[in-house]
């Protein structure tokens, strides 16, 4: 009798587990489908025919393979009224020569400033550079736009990013990064898939958070919402700005699909591990609910996908006809994950058509390899559960909180690890 009770209780638990996993997988697939169908239509909508002055702030360090092309793309925006402020840590950084050359080439049509911020002592170096750039802006700069130097913006990036800021119910706007595999290495593909799946969650205001590599805010609101003060000890620019806009000011962050920018993914497994764990660790400290939700979702998916086939085999071996239920759960879960990945892949091809051949290198991982991606993601999330120390661009930090950072070891060179 006791054995029968526990058998029934165990099966009831498994049914609840599989049901919950299927519901969440179905929701995620529907979100990806919505993103694929709606976002390319949003891209085609006309932009506001207004062109207030914008100060584009680009923290930058060292010279990578695509730095020259990225700088050129930033200086050739289809927007008539903007200037670019490059912010570096050291005047000895080799990227300064590139910026000076760009200033000579584009100086007649575009104002280009170079700010040397010096080494950070109580906040992230990126935030430190950004704040130094903000200090030379004026009231004539109506909007502040922030751009990562490793991203390659389309020609309409700036116009699209600031267009919705002409609506006063919008507190900030954001794009997002899409990692494009630079080689066929599996680590590049996995990072590409994970990053893209996060991107599909953006859109509805309640889920949208700012991404620091492509975001904009009114200059007056940057100070009024408390972003300037909150950045003084921050490591993460985007999570802190998100909280100031949504919690302090009780306003909205608008996702702009035109501002999805391509970044080259050049990872091997050690670099992918360092990158993903660092990002999730920052998330755990700055927005722990996002991290915990991701960990719980990954754990639920993996648990259901593992237990369902095992239960089907056991029930079939015992001659029970109930084997069909766990079989259907396993097939449904796998099928929904493939469908979700396929929708994300289609959206990426439509939004970044110039990068389709490179994106196609990750096609297996977007579809049949999805269970492996979820398992790898779970490992990243678990590793991020421990510690508050990260290494970012050669500098070690300890995050005490969202707005308190300790610089443990300053960078000794301009090399990018």
pLDDT at 104: 87
| pLDDT score for 7 | 55
Rounded to whole angstroms, the Cα distance separating 110 from 155 reads: 15
Class for the domain spanning 52-283: alpha beta
Query: Mind listing the pLDDT tens digit for each residue in 233-291?
Result: 999 999 999 999 999 999 999 999 999 998 888 999 999 999 999 999 999 999 999 99
Q: What is residue 106's predicted lDDT score, i.e. its pLDDT?
A: 77
The domain locations on the chain are 52-283
Q: How many CA atoms lie within 13 A of 281 on its CB side?
A: 20
pLDDT grade for 2, boundaries at 50, 70 and 90: very low
Q: What is the pLDDT of residue 348?
A: 93
Say what the pLDDT of residue 166 is.
Answer: 87
DSSP 2-41: HHHHHHHHHHHHHHHHHHHHHHHHHHHHHHHHHHHHHHHH
Answer whether residue 297 shows pLDDT above 70: yes
pLDDT in tens, 67-99: 899 999 999 999 999 999 999 999 999 999 999
Q: Both ends of the chain: CA-CA distance in Å?
A: 63
What's the mean per-residue pLDDT of the chain?
Answer: 91
Residue 412 has pLDDT above 60, yes or no: no
The residues facing 116 across adjacent strands are: 88
Q: Quick one: pLDDT at residue 413? A: 43
Share of the chain above pLDDT 90, in %: 77
Q: Given this model, what pLDDT does residue 361 score?
A: 95
Q: Give the span between the Cα atoms of 329 and 22, in whole angstroms.
A: 7
Say which DSSP state 145 is in: E
Asked whether the beta carbons of 332 and 21 are under 8 A apart, the reply is no
pLDDT of residue 8: 65
What pLDDT is stored for residue 29 in this prediction? Answer: 96
The predicted model gives 288-310 an average pLDDT of 95
More confident residue, 205 or 414: 205
Residues 409 and 398: their CA atoms lie apart, in Å, by 10
What is the Cα 28 distance to its own chain's centre? 17
Q: What is the pLDDT of residue 34?
A: 92
Predicted confidence (pLDDT) at residue 417 exceeds the cutoff of 70:
no
Backbone phi, then psi, for 23, in 5-degree steps? -60, -45
Neighbours of 138 (CB within 10 A): 8
Instruction: Name the DSSP class of 46.
Output: P
pLDDT tier at 394 (50, 70, 90 boundaries)?
confident
What are the pLDDT digits (tens) for 340-378?
A: 999 999 999 998 998 999 999 999 999 999 999 999 999
Average pLDDT (222-226) is 97
pLDDT score at 5:
38
Summarize pLDDT for 97-109 with one digit per residue, the tens: 999 998 888 766 7
Q: How many alpha carbons lie under 13 Å from residue 92 in its C-beta half-sphere?
A: 6
- Amino acid 44: pLDDT: 81
pLDDT at residue 161 is higher than 80 = yes
The predicted pLDDT at position 196 comes to: 94
């Amino acid at each position: 009798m006791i054995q029968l009770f526990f058998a029934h209780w165990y099966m009831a638990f498994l049914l609840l587990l599989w049901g919950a996993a299927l519901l969440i997988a179905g929701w995620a697939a529907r979100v990806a489908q919505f993103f694929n169908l709606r976002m390319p239509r949003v891209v085609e909508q006309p932009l506001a025919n207004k062109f207030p002055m914008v100060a584009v702030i680009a923290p930058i360090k060292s010279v990578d393979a695509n730095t020259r092309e990225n700088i050129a793309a930033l200086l050739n925006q289809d927007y008539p009224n903007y200037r670019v402020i490059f912010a570096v840590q050291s005047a000895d950084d080799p990227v300064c020569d590139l910026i000076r050359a760009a200033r000579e080439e584009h100086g007649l049509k575009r104002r280009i400033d170079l700010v040397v911020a010096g080494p950070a002592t109580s906040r992230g170096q990126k935030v430190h550079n950004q704040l130094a750039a903000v200090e030379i802006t004026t009231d004539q700069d109506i909007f502040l736009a922030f751009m990562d130097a490793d991203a390659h913006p389309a020609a309409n990036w700036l116009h699209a990013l600031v267009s919705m800021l002409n609506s006063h119910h919008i507190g900030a706007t954001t794009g997002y990064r899409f990692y494009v595999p630079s080689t066929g290495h599996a680590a590049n593909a996995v990072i590409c898939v994970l990053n893209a799946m996060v991107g599909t969650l953006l859109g509805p205001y309640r889920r949208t958070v700012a991404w620091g590599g492509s975001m904009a805010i009114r200059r007056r609101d940057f100070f009024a919402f408390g972003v300037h003060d909150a950045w003084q000890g921050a490591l993460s620019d985007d999570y802190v700005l998100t909280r100031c806009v949504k919690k302090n000011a009780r306003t909205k962050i608008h996702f702009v699909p035109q501002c999805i920018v391509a970044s080259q993914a050049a990872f091997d497994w050690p670099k992918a591990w360092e990158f993903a764990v660092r990002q999730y660790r920052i998330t755990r400290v700055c927005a722990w609910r996002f991290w915990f939700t991701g960990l719980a979702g990954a754990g639920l998916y993996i648990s259901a996908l593992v237990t369902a086939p095992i239960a089907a085999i056991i029930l079939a071996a015992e001659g029970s006809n109930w084997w069909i239920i766990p079989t259907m759960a396993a097939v449904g879960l796998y099928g929904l994950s493939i469908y979700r990945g396929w929708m994300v892949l289609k959206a990426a091809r439509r939004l970044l058509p110039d990068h389709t051949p490179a994106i196609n290198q990750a096609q297996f991982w977007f579809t049949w390899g999805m269970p492996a991606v979820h398992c790898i993601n779970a490992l990243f999330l678990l590793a991020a559960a421990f510690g508050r120390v990260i290494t970012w661009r050669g500098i070690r930090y300890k995050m005490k909180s969202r707005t308190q950072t300790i610089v443990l070891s300053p960078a000794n060179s301009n090399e990018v690890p």
